[in-house]
Chain A
């Protein structure tokens, strides 16, 4: 068995083992153990990856493995990773591991919950290692579908509505995406020869321009909906608000990144001309998303809505950076995916913890809870500072990379858009501090909050791991940035050459 397939098998085995146990206590322990194994395995994979690179292996994709599984259509199970997918795999490993701890208190049908949750993660891992568009799509669907069950069964509030809305919108996007991917497939051999789904192969050829113009918007929007591309973002506030904690974490933290990753890697990289020509439309949409999401967040009362709109804003930055077409901005997009994944996971974890104590997410019904929950309150402030781009935390690194990258494009249109996007970080400060001021500070609003407990050990595990990752990336960014930047080089050179 090769290393990368293990990334899929470990969750699968964990699911199988969980299916033998019914007791929530055992189930969550097994889930935690399985995901711990997964995380350790990812770290080992990372070390192996560095060792390979150190040894001078400059193949674009390492740990490459190729098995044909439906040769009639030339569908392969092709896996391989480079620095970009590796860093996102690491993100997923961290978020799912902490997500298990954040769902420690789930007792209602815990067995099914953890199986579904891990199934979702399996899909994500599979997505990031796949190099074959079809297999990738398969894993993508595997990641999206469990979301319906997770929100519909274990959610809160209008959960059926939210689950339905989220799934339908994402399915609609998948339909566009499938058309786009098939379109790429059927044009993947313009000079004759066998058609291929392998996107590395496809990126080496020049797709006919008419094809690009038709399928680029489909693919970009298809992935963009998952990355909350304005105006297709409205599933996100409702979906996040209704989803249970761990699901919000995974969803905002990782699943939305599938959209960004796909938009960058598939839509933009495979169809450069169309991307170039049509960039302006999507730059406008992404800019609107970034500013609009931030402004929208100011007006929210529900913590999860605040964070959902904040995600719209930050994902807008990612989509924006994918359309600037230089290596620094691309690197920034990936950094932002990781950074936002960690920060938003931390936010949702904290919101879940606060909610489980106060039983409200309305900031106006809280107030002064810093006094009773100093650990959670401080962690929330840390998440807030990280989110508004304070140096020392990951978002600063990511945002600055995006800004510096997009400033290298001196077209006036891009300049103006960049400045608008930069201004969104001020608005971010406004909504973060506003929420913190209302919720955490001031006198304690309700006397019954006096007795609420602070973080328990499993809460601390989740929170500290995430904070550690955010601060680690924020203080020592260069190894990650270098890895991503270098691994973009072959792709970027082809992009330019095309």
Chain B
């Protein structure tokens, strides 16, 4: 059977779990280098297995009767709720999960190697590698999940790995605050995810992806029939599930944690907050795509709208940021918005599912060049010990490898042919155009903005005047350079993969063709964006400042990220903490507990009042006794008669 030949895939996550436990439990007892090597060996081994699984799947067992089937080589009961609602732990192989296996292991392996140079001499090196292994384990568990609940479990685990890695420098208050924020915001989004799962499973009686995504199974129509507040419960459930995805993928308005997450070590940002974990939301929607497309197209509209809006919104903010990692973070948000948009506009089918293919394609290419951008930024930060663009300039002479690879990545994300980003972005725009032209124009405009802010960053960092550096900036050490060069190569070539031959909404391979008009338009605006950036930042001058001064309102709003953080702060600090938590604590101490203490006090008061009766005067007692006896006697006589 085909599934047997993939049973080794169960080792892919397990190797990493073993590495995590080994490095995590021994921790300081291991030499830093040994810890790093154990983790790196584990991820490399996992990568080899993942590549062989991909090769075996795409060029062999996966394709049956003209379309790619879903294989489940391993499944184990984990927890049983009812007869049908069971959580299983398993491995699911289908085109997108195999693709994600490749992405995750590749980027993760590069980050492991890169970190040898970047994290050299840091305190907690072992802890760092342990967390990286934990993250890779969780992420792989997530992508290979066979059911919603397994996905939710690993979803939470990647969240916690992200928390641990953002807060890696735990003595820095800003890192602690950022990690807390990231965890709580995504946790809040996961609330929606969880309720969505519960709602969906209540009506469909299953958590299994296989059962859920079976087209025409009738399982969905039963749920689609029940409506609540004007929409079917299926729509509600899927929108709630998308809320979880939006939280993890930093979609507006749940995006606020991602820019702050840049407090983590830069390789972590590359791995978790650019290439893998943040696209989990996209992956989730893609995983349930059949349910969305066939069961609740209305929910898909929500996905498309949020995606389109976020991509525009984040791109506008990215223009004015000066922290290079933050620029990249907003760029990530914007690009993930693209992927969501593509999913949202997609139909179900092979050709009709162009958006689906485009989204996955962009996820794939974006992982490569965005990881490269982050790692390049890491090399820059490593060299100048600052995140601020204002501290940088003229670095192309000092960091030739970094400069060259960064340029490739910047061109790729801007959509300049023949680099990877061009192909995937072209497909997204074509799909958007087929669905609703406004989405196309907004996406097109974002493409220009992307080119502009990317090259603004590039020119300000690598060109222009040298700044006062503490010491002469040095280029990336070999371990970092290897990763940069590998990813640069990937960014060049992955665009040529005929993606639609492998990934499509219903599993049937098909062939896409270039959309020349779309391509021409998008290249034109990308070049325009680059040109504008060159004009503004390449030559000495004050164009940028004057422009900012000319549009003070827009500049200020963009610079301050549209005050979304402030709104959140107001909601949490003022509404929840000051408006709810503190009053409740007060209420509990003074009213609830006060009632209890009041009862005790009242008892004490009564006893205080009546204790005078116990006077110690023997003869008073005697009086009372005699009077009582007489009273009883009289009563007896009276009643007796």
Contact = CB atoms under 8 A, between A and B. Distances in A.
Interface of A: 165, 168-169, 230-235, 238, 292, 295-296, 298-300, 328, 368, 370-371, 385, 388-392, 396-397, 400-401, 403-405, 407-408, 410, 419, 422-423, 425-426, 429-430, 433-434, 437, 440-444, 477-478, 481-482, 485
Given A231-B595, A404-B198, A370 B180 contact: no
A419 B170 CA distance: 34
B615 to A, nearest CB: 27
Interface string B309-352: 00000000000000000000000000000000000000000000
B130 to A, nearest CB: 11
B77 A478 contact: yes
Contact of B187 (A392, A426, A477): A426
Contacts of B595: 231
B333 to A, nearest CB: 22
B195 interface: yes
B77 A441 contact: no
B600 A234 contact: no
Nearest to A409: B202
Interface in B133-181: 149, 152-154, 156-157, 160, 167, 170-173, 176-177, 180
B592 to A, nearest CB: 5
Interface of B: 77-82, 85, 87, 149, 152-154, 156-157, 160, 167, 170-173, 176-177, 180, 183-184, 187-188, 191, 194-195, 198-199, 201-202, 576-577, 580-582, 584-586, 588, 592-593, 595-597, 600
Contact of B167 (A389, A390, A422, A441): A441
A397 B153 CA distance: 10
Contact of B580 (A234, A295, A371, A477): A295
A451 B597 CA distance: 42
A382 to B, nearest CB: 11
B584 A299 contact: yes
A391 B153 contact: yes
B593 A481 contact: no
B191 A423 contact: yes
Given A234-B593, A405-B81, A478-B80, A168 B170 contact: no
B180 A426 contact: no
23 contacts: A230-B592, A233-B592, A234-B588, A234-B593, A235-B596, A238-B593, A295-B576, A296-B584, A296-B585, A299-B581, A299-B584, A388-B187, A389-B156, A391-B152, A397-B79, A400-B81, A404-B201, A407-B198, A407-B202, A422-B194, A433-B184, A437-B177, A442-B172
Nearest to B594: A234
Nearest to B174: A442
A169 B596 contact: yes
A389 B171 CA distance: 25
A477 B79 contact: yes
A-B residue pairs, 7 tightest by C-beta: A299-B585, A298-B581, A391-B153, A234-B593, A441-B176, A441-B170, A407-B198
Q: Summarize B's interface: helix, strand, loop or mixed.
A: helix
B547 to A, nearest CB: 40
Contacts of B160: 385, 390
A482 B80 contact: yes
A85 to B, nearest CB: 21
B184 A430 contact: yes
B184 A429 contact: yes
Contacts of A404: 81-82, 85, 198, 201
Given A429-B183, A437-B180, A442 B191 contact: no
A210 to B, nearest CB: 29
Nearest to A406: B198
A389 B187 CA distance: 11
A300 B198 contact: no
A292 B584 contact: yes
Contacts of B586: 299
Contacts of B201: 404, 407
A444 B173 CA distance: 11
B79 A410 contact: no
B592 A231 contact: yes
Given A426-B188, A441-B171, A442-B176, A165 B156 contact: no
Contacts of A370: 170
Contact of B194 (A299, A403, A437): A403
Contacts of B581: 295-296, 298-299
A444 B170 CA distance: 11
Contacts of B157: 390-392
A440 B588 CA distance: 27
A376 to B, nearest CB: 14
Given A437-B177, A478-B80, A295 B202 contact: no
Contacts of A434: 180
A232 to B, nearest CB: 8
A392 B156 CA distance: 10
A165 B595 CA distance: 12
Given A396-B153, A425-B187, 13 more contacts: A168-B600, A299-B582, A328-B81, A368-B171, A371-B171, A391-B157, A397-B79, A400-B87, A404-B201, A405-B81, A408-B82, A419-B195, A481-B80
A422 B191 contact: yes
Contacts of A477: 78-79
A235 B600 CA distance: 13
Which of B157, B194, B586 has the most C-beta atoms of chain A within 10 angstroms of its own C-beta?
B194
Contact of A478 (B79, B82, B153, B183): B79
B280 to A, nearest CB: 15
A378 to B, nearest CB: 9
Contacts of A419: 195
Contacts of B153: 391-392, 396
B122 to A, nearest CB: 14
B168 to A, nearest CB: 11
A392 B17 CA distance: 12
Contacts of B582: 299
Contact of B600 (A165, A238, A396): A165
Contacts of B172: 442
Nearest to A331: B81
Nearest to A397: B79
Nearest to B171: A443
B77 A407 contact: no
A410 B202 contact: yes
A370 B149 CA distance: 33
A442 B194 contact: no
Contacts of B79: 397, 400-401, 477-478, 481
A175 B593 CA distance: 20
B197 to A, nearest CB: 9
B176 A407 contact: no
Nearest to B199: A407
Contacts of A292: 584, 588
Contacts of A433: 180, 183-184
A473 B188 CA distance: 25
B170 to A, nearest CB: 4
A317 B172 CA distance: 36
A301 to B, nearest CB: 10
Contact of B577 (A299, A368, A437, A481): A299
Contacts of A485: 80
Contacts of B183: 429, 433
Contacts of B184: 426, 429-430, 433
Contact of A300 (B81, B167, B195, B585): B585
Contacts of A405: 81
Nearest to B154: A391
B202 A422 contact: no
B254 to A, nearest CB: 13
Given A231-B595, A407-B199, A296 B588 contact: yes
Contacts of B202: 407-408, 410
A419 B192 CA distance: 10
B77 to A, nearest CB: 6
Contacts of A403: 194, 198
Contacts of A443: 171, 173
A404 B202 CA distance: 8
